[in-house]
Structure 1
Amino acid sequence: MTVGMINANPVVHERPERAAHPAHAALDALDVFDTVRDIKDPEHPYSLEQLSVLSQESVSVDEKLGHIQITFTPTVQHCSMATVIGLCLRLKLMQNFPPHYKIDIKVAPGSLANEESGQYYL
């Protein structure tokens, strides 16, 4: 066990293989998910996907409105790294998609013990 970790023994899930997305297709949730799925957790050598912090279902895209939204679920309710995870997601999206996209990063409602009323936005 590593000293200082909030969740020293996380559940790690296998990474499913994904089919290639056609390059000419409109931006969709799979494009966004493929961009952020390999971001490593700040406390573990595993990706956010492997820890089920992110899934393709937690990403939505409205290309007509130029809006990307990700809702992630920390592995524990007292996760001190939620803000760091959110900032990593935002930076990766800003680096990989045109600046006209509005990016919303949220923590799933009820997934953080210190959550204020309403959703936790990053």
Structure 2
Amino acid sequence: MVSELINANPTVYEKKERRARIPPVDLDEYAVEPIDQQEIFDHIRDIKDPEHPHSLEELKVVTEDSIEVDDKQSYLRVTFTPTVEYCSMVSVIGLCLRVKLMRCLPPRYKVDIRVAPGTHATEAAVNKQLNDKERVAAALENPHVVGMVEECLAPSYEY
């Protein structure tokens, strides 16, 4: 039997141990802890791959080191690495990352989602698509795309 998956047998890596978050020392009710790399990774690590029963962390599509955060400038960049150069789900993965971050970050953040340089055949086109508000909005009006994104973002309860 021939599989329709481009990467039918991806390499699966062990998940990193979850680290406890330390609350801010300042107990002032208006104190806001800066958002950091670990916090962003904790939000996106469990997103499920659209084609496999594994998380983006397990497939090393996202890593803690692939996240850049500048809390003072309200800027965040997530660079992800598809498992194969011709991954057909690269745009869906990027949309999943964007939607998850839109839901959990304050609206002041500028979020930049990128495919790692040299890791996908259509890297430039995908980067342009994932960072264009109108294209993202149009994609999220498609019920099929929204269904795929929601399925990837659904909690797995496998901690």
The answer to whether TM tops 0.5 is yes
Q: Which residue is 2:5 aligned to?
A: 5
Q: Which runs of 5+ in 2 are unaligned?
A: 25-32, 131-159
In the alignment, residue 17 of structure 1 is paired with which amino acid? E
Distance in 2 (alpha carbons) for counterparts of 1:23 and 1:8: 42
Q: Structure 1 or 2: larger strand share?
A: 1
Q: CA deviation at 1:21?
A: 1.5
Establish whether residue 120 from structure 1 lines up as the match of residue 127 from structure 2: yes
Q: CA deviation at 1:15?
A: 0.6
Question: Secondary structure of the residue that 1:17 maps to in structure 2?
Answer: coil
Choose from 35, 46, 55 the match for 2:63. 55
Q: CA deviation at 1:11?
A: 0.1
Establish whether residue 105 from structure 1 lines up as the match of residue 113 from structure 2: yes
Summarize deviations over 1:6-39 as a string: whole Å, max 9, x none: 1000000001202212233421010000000000
Distance in 1 (alpha carbons) for counterparts of 2:2 and 2:21: 39
Question: Secondary structure of the residue that 2:40 maps to in structure 1?
Answer: helix
Distance in 2 (alpha carbons) for counterparts of 1:44 and 1:8: 8
Q: Which residue is 1:87 aligned to?
A: 95
Q: Which residue is 1:32 aligned to?
A: 40
Establish whether residue 69 from structure 1 lines up as the match of residue 72 from structure 2: no
User: Identity of counterpart residues, as a percentage?
Assistant: 53
Q: CA deviation at 1:116?
A: 4.0
Contact 1:59 1:70 in 2 (8 A): yes
Distance in 2 (alpha carbons) for counterparts of 1:42 and 1:58: 20
Q: Structure 1 or 2: larger helix share?
A: 2
Runs of 4+ in 1 over 3 A off after TM superposition: none
CA RMSD of superposed structures (Å): 1.7
Q: CA deviation at 1:120?
A: 2.8
Establish whether residue 16 from structure 1 lines up as the match of residue 16 from structure 2: yes
Instruction: Report the structure number with the largest CA radius of gyration.
Output: 2
In the alignment, residue 21 of structure 1 is paired with which amino acid? R
Distance in 2 (alpha carbons) for counterparts of 1:2 and 1:104: 37
Higher mean C-alpha deviation, range 107-116 or range 93-102: 107-116
Q: CA deviation at 1:113?
A: 1.7
Distance in 2 (alpha carbons) for counterparts of 1:71 and 1:32: 12
Number of matched pairs: 121
Distance in 1 (alpha carbons) for counterparts of 2:63 and 2:110: 20
Contact 1:72 1:106 in 2 (8 A): yes
Higher mean C-alpha deviation, range 13-22 or range 58-67: 13-22
